[in-house]
Structure 1
């Protein structure tokens, strides 16, 4: 680990993919984290340098760092000058640049799917390309922070947005052995249009989007959810006509005799000391989590049927905030540092 962890020095960080929605959120979070220093922001090689505030005018006079085009030769130049790189890049781009950064002693926190799955053979089917660095799949640690039990290494893989919402909802009751052995959870999840990224496309234009399902049985987040839960699922994502947020409704069959008190106890114990999970007495609303790093969870039981509803901001708890949460833990800083403007929660 970098010497920054052993002293009061700021942890020197860069963001690759700072022009996109998740990368931009991460740049803002890093800039306000009192333990980190945002030393550089980068976009794709073909872009012209421009200020962050010209890309996102609401940050004028707040964050005016220049967003520079990334070149792989910069990795060697950053050796000894940067402690950690956050990658908000397409999957193949993240996979390609990660070994270059690691070779220079720079930690990597990757927000793409490049290192989430442990089985390299799944990448052609779900991501459309052959994984070139299967050895890094075993080195990377998947950082669903509420369930993190092992030390975080130099390569951290940040969970996907849909898997975060679905896994946080279902893992407590599955781990507790309350779900019927032959149950295949059925998950329907709706995401706002920001989940498709900033690049313009007719199919994700706000004026064109109503509410539609997509990715039947083949969505790349399905094997990630199954890897997390340890069982097959039926996962159907939807695209909704709102900017940001995810609402996931998960349905399972419980073992006979499971009581409402048992369900409540399991969720309460699982998340009692987890500052970014809120257990609700009413169904979550994406409007209440948009712009926050929280996951809101609610459940209803009818006999052996259980419905669990979870909501997150896809760009924050589903991406940038979770990446910051992991980096805070990696460098032994307060877990929620930088996640709330002007507040550091110990």
Structure 2
């Protein structure tokens, strides 16, 4: 994995979107990472200044930083005072503010989908708007961290939560050349309600949600998964009646003659020395990854069919923890700094 050297000084950071679930998780991770200082936290422009602990009372007395409304005027206030800005914003908002922060010499770690897809023509279909900065798509490096193969630049694009679960599950088999060339993986994944964000909506109210599928053939994470795997997929997301976590079940077909030993070796070789992926001997449970930075993976084979089950916390390994992992690597710090041990916002 690539890394970039940094000075021994603490990395000064800001979080935009700190009032939302993923942004709040980032604030907690940064506050407990000894290599980073959380200097600024921002929410949307229309909000009143409010302490982080009033937004998330379980952190009272531990993290009382003032969360202030963001305006572009803040860029001049943080120029030269912030090394990295984490964007836990809507896609179009990230796309607008990222180049302004970069012009101020600030590293940008973007948790939105604004720079994930390498083909800008896909944005109108899957994100509902035309991309205004296609040149930045080419500059951004996509930070699926266990498969990172290049240095991280000034603009880092963090993968989607469903995408991380599916890609970590299937890339070992794809990269090892064990799947049939015409195989189309079938991926069914269920997320907890926190994946929809903190804004209240009847369709994602905990009391209203049972278990339902949505986004058939058109979910914005589908082209991102296809980009990672280099092949078409059938991806069906589901919304489940639990707070946080994703469980993804992926079904693929092996080439004739591929053995159990080859499948096992593919996973073990892919994730040897990767501390945030755990290979299990029993099927994973979202309860065991909720509040952790891990992705748990389990597989079963029957003839030429393989079922791979992966589980992760959508707010952590699927968002904030992977962003923290990327920033650690970018600035030459230990990859898991700030990620292991301690509490989280919404256990």
What is the TM-score normalised by the length of structure 1?
Answer: 0.97
Instruction: Report Cα offsets for 1:229-268 as digits up to 9, x if no partner.
Output: 0000000000000000000000001000111011001100
Question: Which residue is 2:168 aligned to?
Answer: 168
Question: Which residue is 2:337 aligned to?
Answer: 337
Does residue 28 in structure 1 map to residue 28 in structure 2? yes
Q: Please give the secondary structure, in 1, of the residue aligned with 2:182.
A: coil
CA contact (8 A) 1:15 1:42 kept: yes
State the alpha-carbon separation in 2 of the partners of residues 291 and 264 from structure 1.
28
Q: Please give the secondary structure, in 2, of the residue aligned with 1:121.
A: helix
1:55-94 equivalences in 2 (<5 Å): 55-94=55-94
Q: Please give the secondary structure, in 1, of the residue aligned with 2:329.
A: helix
CA contact (8 A) 2:6 2:332 kept: no
Question: Which residue is 1:138 aligned to?
Answer: 138
Q: Please give the secondary structure, in 1, of the residue aligned with 2:120.
A: coil
* C-alpha displacement of 1:282: 0.3
Q: Which ranges of structure 1 fall in alignment gaps of 5 or more residues?
A: none
State the alpha-carbon separation in 1 of the partners of residues 180 and 71 from structure 2.
51
CA contact (8 A) 1:32 1:341 kept: no
Question: Which residue is 1:7 aligned to?
Answer: 7
Instruction: Report Cα offsets for 1:198-251 as digits up to 9, x if no partner.
Output: 000000000000000000000000000000000000000000000000000000
Instruction: Report Cα offsets for 1:145-171 as digits up to 9, x if no partner.
Output: 000010000100000000000000000
Q: Name segments (4+ residues, structure 1) moved above 6 Å.
A: none
Does residue 316 in structure 1 map to residue 298 in structure 2? no
Question: Which residue is 1:293 aligned to?
Answer: 293
State the alpha-carbon separation in 2 of the partners of residues 5 and 32 from structure 1.
21
Question: Which residue is 2:184 aligned to?
Answer: 184
State the alpha-carbon separation in 2 of the partners of residues 304 and 8 from structure 1.
51
State the alpha-carbon separation in 2 of the partners of residues 101 and 202 from structure 1.
35
Specify which structure has the bigger relative contact order, considering alpha-carbon pairs within 8 angstroms and separated by 6 or more residues. 2
Question: Which residue is 1:203 aligned to?
Answer: 203
State the alpha-carbon separation in 2 of the partners of residues 5 and 342 from structure 1.
27
Q: Please give the secondary structure, in 1, of the residue aligned with 2:25.
A: helix
* C-alpha displacement of 1:50: 0.3
Instruction: Report Cα offsets for 1:125-146 as digits up to 9, x if no partner.
Output: 0000010000000000000000
